[in-house]
Chain A
Amino acid sequence: MRKTFLGYIIAIVILIVSIWLGVSIGSVKVSISTLWNTAADPTATNILWKIRMPRVVLAGLVGASLAIAGAAFQGLLKNPLADPYTLGVSSGASVGAVVTLFFGISTPILGIYTLPTFSMIGALLAMMGVMAFARLVDRTLKMETLILTGIIVSSFLGSVISLMIALTGEELRQIIGWLMGSVSMRGWPYVKMVWPFVLIGSFLLWLNRRELNAMLFGEERAKYLGVDVKKSKIMILTGGSMLTGAAVAVSGTIGFVGLVVPHMTRLVFGADHRHLLPLSFLNGASLLIICDLVARTIIAPTELPIGVITAFIGAPVFSYIFFRQRRTKGA
């Protein structure tokens, strides 16, 4: 109990420090005191409020969404390698987003939420497609089967996106930049666009924290424990897709966040989803804020896509988990 309490304290402290660093470091140094100092330099205030702050908040929301979705997918599928990126869910969300941009879809009812909504639908369809196909291949849904299916679906959807980009011509550049994964130059409208999705999606997952714990022992045992497996599954898949859709809609595909964060959190605090979900949420936010900071400062003034940094950390972690799982199971 004390250990998890400490976990929350540490996660919050790291998040605050990340936000502070994210806000103050850059081509122009901005003191954190600008936040509350009304007498501060107006340029600094502008940089802080109009450029840095929305960027940090957006990175935080995206990171949190991907991490908590990853944690939930891993629990639901009992697969430590599952995350929105490896499962191909992110690609599905991308297709949803690109389709919206490509056809210029706008619905009056959804308003600014059109893009994340279509992203979310894309994510949900991709998720269901991956699960259905993987189940056809092997009923036990082995770890490798699921990841392979994710790769197949990802590649296929990637080619669909390439085709659409080829057909757009002039808008090409914008979409490619977005695809690489970035939270730069988005501003507050994007934050406004996604926060309800992040909130509702996370809440749906949090509601199923104990159900996820039970489902780690398999659906059969979860049923015996009184879990309404079907209902929980729908809620978790919807919540996960919502979060992935929201993240992808504003920042493109950023890989491995949903893999690295829950894995690290689990290593330290165990697999109890009551704490794993909120802790992953907090740590995911911190990680992406830091990654974004590194992406825009490491070879300044050029900015790296944030996906490069996450993949740089994520791929080795992915290999390590895969190695460990195979070793312990093969023994």
Chain B
Amino acid sequence: MLTVEHITGGYDAAKPIVQDVSFTVKKGGILGILGPNGSGKSTLLKVISGILPSTNGQVLIAEQNIKTFSPKAFARKIAVLPQLHAHAFSHTVRETVTLGRYPHQNSWFSTWSEQDEEAVQKAMQQTGVDCYEHTNLEFLSGGEQQRTFVAQALAQQADILLLDEPTNHLDIAHQRQLLDMIRLEAVQNGLTVVSVFHDMNLASLYCDQLLLMEKGRVRAIGEPHEVLKEQQIFEVYNTRVSSYPHPELPKPQVTLMPSVSESHAPYVVTKEQFKIRDEFVELRTDFPLKAVSSAVHNAGFGWFQSFVNRAVDLNYMCEDAHEELKRYLEKHDFMPSNTVAMMTAVAVEHVVIREFSSSIGSIIVAVTAGVGNAVDVSRAHERVSAPYIGTINTWVIINGKLTDESFMQAMITATEAKTKAMHSEEIMDPISNTIATGTSTDSLLIASTQSGTFMEYAGPITDIGKLIGRGVFETTVIALQDYKRAKGWI
């Protein structure tokens, strides 16, 4: 356990850079230190490790003041990885790592024990530098040198590891490898880690606690989500960021919001931009739209420039529909990474595309409706059969700027409008014999130009909600009637 109590210090005792910093890292914990350039991150590390003098406060290892340790005893407790520097002479990798055993050795006679050898071998393997064992450091890349010094620090077998930007000079694969390894050492062997980071996202991913420094003082300390707050980051770094969740881990990530933006007239999508081809309906735009969808290809949130609704045969069966659809898109000159694509059993000529506008702007709604598989969602639990094809695909393209909240509300509003259309057209669930609410495989796409009118909310009684509700309802009704005509029901 490492405890830092009210530490103050720096290069000049009269003007201490680090002021009144306190924190505790328990055994096996990882603390990340963040802060702008010149906020005293590296200086704090140097004051903790005793390289720079402290004028106030104390550093305790397992409740013992570090000033009571001899240099060697200190090095057995704390290993430090400073920033990488160039050197006039160079050792081989092995010689460098071997130096990590210095604090464990008697100063008079070199006794190289089996334990020393084991520690050196293990450290080299963990950092993946064992293959360069007999190479001189000067012939290695910056990243390989950095890993060698990490191995040196590990060979010290100290309880506490202090790192100053350990991932400098490393590519992402080695960043991950190095931090994974340190994390594992912490979790499995109880290594206590304090590390300075430049990259907030890496720090968030690998640290239990973050400490945000500002002008030598602690601005915030706590779990990543308590520290990486948009407003706080803005105040400390004077840079706008947006925070979003990591796709797999409960850790916040932040991304920069560039302050340069090209000025342009608001982007507008019109009905005329939709093209009906032999096998699909497409919309291509000159600029990316922000979209959220339940499409087959590129579902979820993203920015896209092409949108495809592909008609497939009723008997379309494919082991891997995703892969097949991707190849289909490539064949038809779409960039798969820039395209959202859905599939339907309805022939393309039955697509209904309508534009709706009010004082706040306009939206375009495109619907293909097949209700051969209509389902009453409230009675679906009674079904046992596998679904067969028959889908309502709904696209809502909005000329306006939406928040995440309004994207979600737009999805609800559009779905409610679709259900109302089913109701008004009296489409039945053939099994429960009640009015259906949709089909078993409906898809929805909400896309917006993110320019023009700002729409914070999109619930049913907001201006945009009214357009969506009316637009989706009317368009779906037309599409359903068309379907009925095609089936000869009316």
Contacts and interface: CB of A to CB of B under 8 A. Distances in A.
B95 A210 contact: no
Contact of B102 (A80, A210, A328): A210
Interface stretch (A34-42, A223-231, A295-303): A223-231
B452 interface: no
Given A79-B88, A214-B99, A216-B91, A226 B51 contact: no
Contacts, number: 85
Contacts of B71: 223, 226-229
Nearest to A209: B110
A78 interface: yes
A135 interface: no
A329 B108 CA distance: 36
B119 to A, nearest CB: 14
Interface in B76-109: 76, 78-80, 82, 85-92, 95-96, 99-100, 102-103, 105, 107-108
Contacts of A221: 82, 149
A270 B75 contact: no
14 contacts: A79-B88, A80-B88, A207-B107, A213-B95, A213-B99, A217-B87, A220-B46, A223-B71, A224-B79, A226-B75, A226-B103, A266-B89, A271-B91, A271-B95
B74 interface: yes
Question: Lowest 9 CB-CB distances: which A-B pairs, in order?
Answer: A226-B75, A226-B103, A224-B80, A226-B72, A271-B89, A228-B71, A78-B88, A225-B102, A226-B71
A308 B70 CA distance: 48
Contact of A214 (B73, B80, B102, B149): B102
Interface residues of B, number: 38
Given A218-B85, A329-B86, A226 B91 contact: no
Interface in B27-52: 46, 49-51
Given A207-B108, A210-B102, A224-B80, 6 more contacts: A217-B85, A220-B82, A221-B149, A224-B75, A225-B156, A228-B71
Given A217-B87, A223-B71, A270 B92 contact: yes
B398 to A, nearest CB: 56
A272 B102 contact: no
Given A220-B82, A224-B80, A225-B156, A210 B99 contact: yes
Nearest to B70: A228
A80 B90 CA distance: 11
A210 B105 contact: yes
Q: Dominant SS at the B interface?
A: mixed
A63 interface: no
B88 A143 contact: yes
A225 B90 contact: no
A325 B79 CA distance: 31
B290 to A, nearest CB: 47
Interface string A31-52: 0000000000000000000000
A178 B82 CA distance: 49
B110 A224 contact: no
B239 to A, nearest CB: 31
A75 interface: yes
A325 B82 contact: no
Nearest to A221: B82
Nearest to A276: B89
A226 B149 CA distance: 15
B156 to A, nearest CB: 7
Contact of B82 (A143, A213, A224): A224
Interface of B: 46, 49-51, 70-76, 78-80, 82, 85-92, 95-96, 99-100, 102-103, 105, 107-108, 110, 136, 138, 149, 152, 156
Nearest to A213: B99
Contacts of A80: 88-89
B129 to A, nearest CB: 16
A274 interface: yes
Most buried by B among A75, A78, A143, A210: A210
Contacts of A271: 89-91, 95
Nearest to B136: A270
Contacts of B46: 220
Contacts of A226: 71-76, 102-103, 156
Contacts of B70: 228
A302 to B, nearest CB: 40
Interface in A263-295: 266, 270-272, 274
Contacts of A328: 138
A213 B88 contact: no
A214 B435 CA distance: 82
Contacts of A74: 89
